[in-house]
Structure 1
Amino acid sequence: MGGSQSTRKLSVDNDNAIQVSQEALDRIQSQLSANKIEQPSPQQYAPPPPVYDTQKHAAEEAYWVHRIENLKRAHEKINSGMHIEYQKTLKEANELFELVKADKIATKLPPCQEEKAKVLECYSQNPNKSLVCSVLVNQFNDCVCKSRLAAITASP
């Protein structure tokens, strides 16, 4: 019983079948493909442009204009302060250079050059009599002491 195959056959006759010509099939295919092309894809959807609130935009614009003006004023204050400090420093540096320059001119020649020349001339004229020049040596010594004292009192 279950070991053999069935040999029955079934056939259906349909007298109401519709036959379509090849031209009709081609027209239907072209219309379907044209409809597919015309339909927009969901990815091409563009959102509407954003709506701007003009009052909010004007308030933001005023805020930034005010902020920029404040920053400009602060920048100008900083620049003026830096310019003043630069001028003061330049003036102080020039004064220091003038002091150093004047000090170099003052100390360019050692003090008591005349007295020194007199002592040397006396020693050359009296090679074996050094006590003869003692008065000139004392004058030279006094001059050196006075110039040392003047230098000490003049320095700050």
Structure 2
Amino acid sequence: MGGSQSSRKLTVDNENAIQVSQEALDRIQAQLNANQAQQAVSPPPPPPTQFVPSEYFESDKRKKEHAAEEVYWARRIENLKRAHEKINASMDVEYQKTLKEANELFNMAQNDKIASKLPPCQDEKAKVLECYSTNPNKTLLCSVLVNKFNDCVCRSRVAAVSAS
């Protein structure tokens, strides 16, 4: 029962289910040929144009509103230009002021370098070195000169700190 497949076959002969007359076939073929010929000959359609309303449709009220907006934005732009000019002027003043201060500081540093090129207490240093070279094994004999050199160095340090 149901375990085997059915061996029956069904065939339908439907060759002439829809009958079309030769006249209808000719009309359809002629229409297709005409459409193909028209597509081959006719240029492509122009791109869509943007609608621009004529002045006739624009009311006086709308024209006045447009003019008022133009005046508003013109004033706004001028105010912004003036504000930017003020900002630029103040920035230029600050730039010049900072440049002047930087140049003054640079000149002061250059002057300090020139003044401090030679180390202080050169005479005392030379005397100490001479004493050490003449008394190589008796360095305590040079202690007085070393103390004078030390005092000179301390004075120059104090002078440098108080100057700055």
Band of TM-score, shorter chain: 0.5 to 0.7
How many residue pairs get aligned? The number is: 111
Q: Percent identity?
A: 71
Equivalences for residues 89-108 of structure 1 within 5 A: 89-108=98-117
Distance 2:140 2:111 in 1: 39
Inter-CA distance 73–143: structure 2 relative to 1 (3 Å threshold): same
Q: What SS does structure 2 have at the residue aligned with 1:64?
A: helix
The one-letter amino acid paired with 1:67 is R
Q: What SS does structure 2 have at the residue aligned with 1:108?
A: coil
Q: Superposition RMSD on alpha carbons, in Å?
A: 2.8
Distance 1:146 1:100 in 2: 22
- How far apart are 1:128 and its partner, in Å? 4.3
Quick one: which of 57, 61, 64 aligns to 2:73?
Answer: 64
The one-letter amino acid paired with 1:117 is A
Distance 1:111 1:72 in 2: 60
Inter-CA distance 79–147: structure 2 relative to 1 (3 Å threshold): same
Inter-CA distance 67–129: structure 2 relative to 1 (3 Å threshold): same
Structure 1 stretches lacking a partner, 5+ long:
1-44
The one-letter amino acid paired with 2:58 is V
Distance 1:61 1:152 in 2: 67
- How far apart are 1:103 and its partner, in Å? 3.1
Inter-CA distance 46–91: structure 2 relative to 1 (3 Å threshold): closer
Which residue matches 1:118? 127
For structure 1, which segment, 91-100 or 138-147, has the greater mean C-alpha deviation from structure 2 after superposition? 91-100
Distance 2:91 2:116 in 1: 37
**Bigger radius of gyration:** 1
Quick one: which of 90, 94, 115 aligns to 1:81?
Answer: 90
Structure 2 stretches lacking a partner, 5+ long:
1-50
